[in-house]
Structure 1
Amino acid sequence: PLRATSTTRPTRSGYGVPVEAGRSAVHDLELVELGTVEAGDHQLTIRAHRGADPASPVMIVLPAMGVPARYYQPFLRSLAARGRTVVSFDLRGQGEALPRARRGIRFGYQDLIDDTGAVVDLVARNFPQAPRFLLGHSLGGQVALLYSASHPDRVSGVTLLGSGSVWFRSFQGSRAWKNLAGTQVVAALSAVLGCWPGERLGFGGRQPAGVMRDWARQGRSGRYRLGGSDTDYEAALAASDVPLLTVTMDGDELAPESSVDHLAGKAARSARTRRHYSCEIAGAAKLGHYAWVHNSDELARWIGEWAVAAAVEPAAESG
């Protein structure tokens, strides 16, 4: 079973990276080690920046596949600059989370969902007055939505950031068939090799075969049937009414609007707010699936305002 342990150890600039002299307090973001989640040789480190108001919403950020938590530092700073409490951790097997994916290491989506539950519990103990919001990027958004559907009383809302369904029919034109072929080839190679060596093949980072099998199954079927899990996630999603904010990004070919709509549409009872983050709004030359992190000030404002409203009363459908 997962075990969460609280600590209060600060790190420089959150991840041991020295901050530049002369930068403001908002840029010198201090992430304190909030605790660890452990089970056998599995260990996650959870870090947080505490906002001034103990009752202000807590933003728990779930990374994308193959993306370390430290990549989101600019986004965390944008959230923290608006007085939010932010929580950061690596998905199992990514960044500093142990163990690394290799042959014989077996975990899948359900384990990522269980990890999220342990993080939420740790946050609840440390910030008992604060409503909790999950902010998931790409794969992190899928995990966040699945967790919220199966534990609707544990979170006050979910934000999907460039996070959509992998189902091939949720993409347009030739991209649909490329996605179908790609997801199935990745899963097959992962099964043969014992893991997916994405750090060498240019996609997704190093991942266990179980994660890629769950990912590919949803890619071909459009449904979440997770290995090692008895939960009917499709039914749980259909019954969920957890408030939902979905954000699409300019130039994001991995999570276009059609893909995001398919994922969010599974939670049809949830009050959904839709937003599109354009280069013009962000003041950026490009955004895409990843670069939005570096131009996220306005996005942080959207999320913060939505969370405050959702914590009081579920948001109404908006464009």
Structure 2
Amino acid sequence: MDQDTTKDNVQNGSGDRASYVLGHVSAGTHRITVRAVRQEDPGSPLVVLLPAMGVPARYYRPFIADLHRQGLAVVLFDLRGQGESRPRAARGVRFGYQSLIDDVDAVLDLVESALPEAPRFLLGHSLGGQIALLHTARHPNRVHGVALVASGSVWFRSFPGVHKFRTLFVTQAVATVSALLGYWPGERFGFGGRQATDLMHDWARQARTGRYRLNGSTTDYEAALRELRQPLLTVSVAGDGLAPQSSVDHLAAKARRARRTAKHYTRSASGAENLGHFEWVRNGGELSRWISDWIASAHDSSVHA
């Protein structure tokens, strides 16, 4: 991947410090803009935020402000094909999970070059959490730890009750439509945004089998996950039907040697009347404190290990 570091101040809409363009990473025709919200101290811990499927990075602005108030620097970018990344998914535009993992690696190259003193952590939501965990399993020395929020396995048997069969049906139907059209038109169906066929096939295969076998990759990710030892924070969210506790536990159990801290974000903890798979982003003040405390503990233990 290629990268550059053109900078351009952009208001983050949060009332806090403005974000700016840290640089761009590209692979072939794909180009991703990487933004950052810094702390004054260049050695402040830094989280790289990976969005959910179909969710633009700008949606996380309130949560980024919460993290920044906790003393954390934040790097954010749109997943390939989403938000301001280009090109969008379409027939003939091919990428899957492995491409997203490679994109994270390129973003970390940029972060290491621009902010070399900052301890680095990945923070993923939903699909972003899966990609964060898979990346760390393949490249275990690039970050100090991984935090997953509302992120679980899509394996249909990890869902409770009748949701098992609904999950299996929906995921396989999405893969079928994607194969027929050459992409997934999620904006028409109100789910997942516009996505590449290979990405949806990776997603549906994991839903069907419970295992990560990725298009275009020879990496044994199941074996790599079993060897992962980095600190892992998992946060399930009250009212989340897309990543219930059982699916969060199934994903985390793949990294059975990781030093896991498990938390559950409730309405009372958040102060919000309603939470769920997406609503926590706008009610993340207490969650950001949990993440900051976990990062302090994880960094301290890694320094003294």
TM range (shorter): over 0.9
In the alignment, the residues of structure 1 paired with residue 2 and residue 275 of structure 2 have an alpha-carbon distance, to the nearest angstrom, of 38
Q: Structure 2 counterpart of 1:10, which letter?
A: N
2:116 match: 128
2:104 match: 116
* 1:239-254 mapped onto 2 (5 Å cutoff): 239-254=227-242
Does residue 53 (structure 1) correspond to residue 41 (structure 2)? The answer is yes
Q: Structure 2 counterpart of 1:113, which letter?
A: I
Does residue 289 (structure 1) correspond to residue 288 (structure 2)? The answer is no
Does residue 154 (structure 1) correspond to residue 145 (structure 2)? The answer is no
Equivalent position SS for 1:268: coil
2:257 match: 269
Does residue 312 (structure 1) correspond to residue 300 (structure 2)? The answer is yes
In the alignment, the residues of structure 2 paired with residue 266 and residue 83 of structure 1 have an alpha-carbon distance, to the nearest angstrom, of 31
Shift of residue 252 of structure 1?
Answer: 0.2
Deviations 1:170-195 (A, max 9, x none): 00111001101110110011000000
In the alignment, the residues of structure 2 paired with residue 166 and residue 44 of structure 1 have an alpha-carbon distance, to the nearest angstrom, of 26
Shift of residue 40 of structure 1?
Answer: 2.2
Deviations 1:21-60 (A, max 9, x none): xxxxx72330010000012220000000111222121011
Instruction: State whether residues 36 and 45 of structure 1, in contact with CA within 8 Å, keep that contact through their aligned partners in structure 2.
Output: yes
In the alignment, the residues of structure 2 paired with residue 310 and residue 126 of structure 1 have an alpha-carbon distance, to the nearest angstrom, of 23
Aligned residues: 303
In the alignment, the residues of structure 1 paired with residue 109 and residue 253 of structure 2 have an alpha-carbon distance, to the nearest angstrom, of 27
Provide TM-score, normalisation by structure 1.
Answer: 0.93
Provide TM-score, normalisation by structure 2.
Answer: 0.97
Identity %: 58
* 1:203-214 mapped onto 2 (5 Å cutoff): 203-214=191-202
In the alignment, the residues of structure 2 paired with residue 120 and residue 223 of structure 1 have an alpha-carbon distance, to the nearest angstrom, of 26
Does residue 106 (structure 1) correspond to residue 94 (structure 2)? The answer is yes
Equivalent position SS for 1:200: helix
Shift of residue 197 of structure 1?
Answer: 0.4
Runs of 4+ in structure 1 off by over 4 angstroms are none
Does residue 87 (structure 1) correspond to residue 75 (structure 2)? The answer is yes
In the alignment, the residues of structure 1 paired with residue 296 and residue 41 of structure 2 have an alpha-carbon distance, to the nearest angstrom, of 12
Instruction: State whether residues 159 and 246 of structure 1, in contact with CA within 8 Å, keep that contact through their aligned partners in structure 2.
Output: yes
Does residue 137 (structure 1) correspond to residue 125 (structure 2)? The answer is yes
In the alignment, the residues of structure 2 paired with residue 52 and residue 283 of structure 1 have an alpha-carbon distance, to the nearest angstrom, of 30
1:5 match: 4
In the alignment, the residues of structure 1 paired with residue 261 and residue 243 of structure 2 have an alpha-carbon distance, to the nearest angstrom, of 17
Give the gaps of 5 or more residues in structure 1: 20-25, 315-319
Instruction: State whether residues 52 and 83 of structure 1, in contact with CA within 8 Å, keep that contact through their aligned partners in structure 2.
Output: no
Q: Structure 2 counterpart of 1:299, which letter?
A: L
Q: Structure 1 counterpart of 2:168, which letter?
A: L
Does residue 28 (structure 1) correspond to residue 27 (structure 2)? The answer is no
Deviations 1:112-161 (A, max 9, x none): 00000001111111111111100000000000000000001001000000
